[in-house]
Chain A
């Protein structure tokens, strides 16, 4: 199994540009989430989804949009990139929220100039 696949692995954007970080899982997991990891701040939850068509905000949602049209995919959209969004982004999934092991993708390193 591929598990959780994130693309791209690296991305450089200019301030104001938009882009979509892709996340796909092949484990038929209902729960998917996006985290950002910053030095000294740890991992912080951006958005999450408990199933197709259902999304909700995490701790740091501003500047990001998500949608969940299928069980497999959970893309993260940066609407107008800012230098403060320079970070490493991780997508994660599990069978359900709160009760199962969380599986992570390998991450996307994003730099906003």
Chain B
């Protein structure tokens, strides 16, 4: 059974710092990995999608990498801003999950002004 783990569960940083969020998964037969953002009381918004054939994806200040052999993905946020405060979730779609996304529990990020 695919398991997705995110560490740390919560993170607080001062504005302007570069930071890394970690995601690990147990099933290396991965189709894709997605990073999402969730604001309190809201739905999830897809930030980045990495296909199994790709190593990384970038969007603005966000960069996500995928290492299938080690079962890890990282989300790098450059020059963090208070508006980046939210919960970030990763999700993996694998052969074991029939392609359905299995989610981690998320990292709650707080960026202090």
- By a beta-carbon cutoff of 8 Å, the part of chain A in contact with chain B is 4, 33, 35, 40-45, 48, 56, 58, 90, 92, 97-107
Contact = CB atoms under 8 A, between A and B. Distances in A.
Interface of B: 31-32, 34, 36, 41-46, 49, 51, 89, 91, 93, 98-106
Given A40-B105, A42-B106, A43-B89, A98 B99 contact: yes
Given A40-B105, A97-B93, A98-B93, A107 B100 contact: no
A45 B100 contact: yes
A44 B93 CA distance: 13
A71 to B, nearest CB: 18
DSSP class of B's interface residues: helix, strand, loop or mixed? strand
A31 to B, nearest CB: 9
B43 A33 contact: no
27 contacts: A41-B105, A42-B89, A42-B103, A42-B105, A44-B103, A45-B101, A58-B100, A90-B43, A90-B44, A97-B99, A98-B32, A98-B93, A98-B99, A99-B51, A101-B34, A101-B46, A101-B49, A102-B34, A102-B36, A102-B44, A102-B46, A102-B91, A103-B46, A104-B43, A105-B43, A107-B42, A107-B43
Contacts of A44: 103
Contacts of A101: 34, 46, 49
A106 B42 contact: yes
A33 B106 contact: no
Contacts of B105: 40-42
Contact of B103 (A43, A48, A103): A43
